[in-house]
Structure 1
Amino acid sequence: MSESIDAPGAVLFSEPGARWRTIAYGPALCAIILLVEVIRGGAIHWFGLLFCGLLLAGFVWLQVVAGKRHISVELTADTLREGTETLALRDIAEVLPEDDEESWDYEDWQSARALGELSGVPRRRKGIGLKLTDGRLVQAWARDHVTLRAELTAALERSNGGSVEEKEAQ
């Protein structure tokens, strides 16, 4: 069974922020070096390669945990989660137009607060201007900002369309 797009738990857009498989890259490189040492003959640096592999895996594990916590994005039919901050779609009034690449002027939303607990839009991500129902401007962000913008706009249209139809039915 597949979930409906309008179901509250259905994920419309997701970026993991980091992938667990990256933890294996350092130990895999150390294993390749160990294999080369075994094939080549001579001294084999068991302790050094094991220590380096574990050290690399530990540091990358910290980065993956931080990436999954602080730069992951998830859009459902009800909420937009940017890192550790979750924003209800009913609190978003509109998705603002993209910035003009050829313009010398900044849009007001480009200097607005970025969602999440980071000080700004994370590296290699692009901001999307949002106007909230209370009039404030904020920036959502994603690596695949085009898809997030399209899915967020469609989700807002569905939620606004649904609320108008419900009001007319009453």
Structure 2
Amino acid sequence: MSASEPARIRPGAEPEGPVLYAEDGWSWAWILAAPLFCTAAGLFEWLTDAPVHWLMLTICAIASALCHGVMIAATRVHGRVRLTPTAYYQGTEELDLAHVQQVLPPAGGGPDEASWQTARTLGELREVPRRRGAVGLRLDTGAEVRAWCRRPAALRAALVDAIGAADASPGPA
């Protein structure tokens, strides 16, 4: 990689410097859910003197664990949020905070919808996932985008602090 090329962060790799806000996707512990339930079902069958279906329970446990593994890996890439003093990472997309002009106020909840609520969503997903909240950002180009996470109020506060700190820092002379 030449010195003129920007550094690219591989999905899942931690950015350099302090992290001001972070969220990950699902925990890898969820991969154990199906095998535990299948084991409990087998024990229940054994304790009640019913025929134990070990082969089918094992196949179901393995298949469910594999399906969960795919979903967990996807959420850990696409649902990942990192905010550093210089950049915001949503999934595999990186937004330089120098390009963020303003953190937009939250939607009022009235009939008038804030313009940023229909703006492009950062990251690879087309819409904000369920049980997630959005934070509107206005870029230096005038475009509005939506950052999203589980705790939008905390992300909004961290973004306001990071953008204020970036504005207060002296520019290149």
TM-score range, shorter chain: 0.7 to 0.9
Q: Does 1:108 align with 2:115?
A: yes
Q: Displacement, 1:71?
A: 1.5
CA distance in 1, matches of 2:115, 2:139: 13
Q: Which residue of 2 aligns with 1:90?
A: 98
Matched, 1:61 2:69: yes
What percentage of residue pairs aligned between the two structures are identical? 35
| 1:61 to partner: Cα distance | 0.6
1:109-124 equivalences in 2 (<5 Å)? 109-124=116-131
Counterpart residue number, 1:80: 88
Consecutive aligned runs of 4 or more in structure 1 exceeding 6 Å deviation: none
Are 2:151 and 1:134 aligned? no
CA RMSD across the alignment: 1.6
Aligned-residue offset at 1:77: 1.4
Q: Which has the higher helix share?
A: 1
| Structure 2 Cα separation of the partners of residues 42 and 60 of structure 1 | 29
Consecutive unaligned residues of structure 2, counting only runs of 5 or more, are 1-15
Equivalent residue number for residue 145 of structure 1: 152
Q: Distance in 2 between matches of 1:36 and 1:142?
A: 40
* One-letter amino acid of the counterpart of residue 130, structure 1: L
Q: Aligned equivalents of 2:21 and 2:68: distance in 1?
A: 25
Question: TM-score under structure 1 normalisation?
Answer: 0.88
Q: Report the CA distance between 1:74 and its aligned residue.
A: 1.1
Gaps of 5+ in 1: 1-7
Distance in 2, matches of 1:18 and 1:44, equals: 32
Q: Give the conservation status (yes or no) of the 8 Å contact 1:27–1:57.
A: yes
Matched, 1:159 2:166: yes
- From 37, 41, 54, the equivalent of 1:46 is 54
Q: For this pair of structures, how many residues does the alignment match?
A: 159
Cα offset, 1:49, TM superposition: 0.6
